[in-house]
């Protein structure tokens, strides 16, 4: 059974990564060099999968390996990324 991640959680992480708001590199998380996002258009929830098709969490997506240890970044909110969320469902 897939774990659906709320819109604000997955979208803020993905936007922060692709707009370079996080210090994130695929070299520090090669598992997530390619991801698949399956979105439920009714409420925006999504399932994230890595390049191998294995389900991942937002925490796993944002992890970076540094000197053999995984470090998680603090993910900015959508509002902090400049996205108007006034009409979004929670």
Helix (H) or strand (E) holding 10: helix 7-18
Each residue's pLDDT tens digit, 63-72: 888 776 777 7
Each residue's pLDDT tens digit, 51-90: 999 999 998 998 888 776 777 777 788 888 888 877 766 5
For residue 83, the model assigns a pLDDT of 81
Q: How far apart, in whole angstroms, are the C-alpha atoms of residue 27 and residue 29?
A: 5
- Can you give the pTM of this predicted structure? 0.79
For residue 89, the model assigns a pLDDT of 61
Mean confidence (pLDDT) of the chain: 85
Q: CA of 49: how far to CAs of 7, 79, 88, in Å?
A: 15, 25, 24
């Amino acid at each position: 059974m897939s774990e659906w991640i709320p819109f604000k959680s997955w979208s803020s992480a993905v936007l922060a990564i692709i707009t370079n708001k996080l210090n994130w590199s695929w070299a520090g998380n090669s598992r997530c060099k390619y991801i698949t996002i399956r979105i439920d258009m009714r409420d925006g929830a999504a399932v994230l999968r890595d390049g191998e098709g294995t389900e991942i969490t937002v925490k796993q997506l944002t992890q970076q390996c540094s000197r053999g240890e995984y470090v998680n970044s603090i993910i900015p909110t959508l509002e902090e990324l400049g996205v108007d969320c006034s009409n979004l469902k929670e």
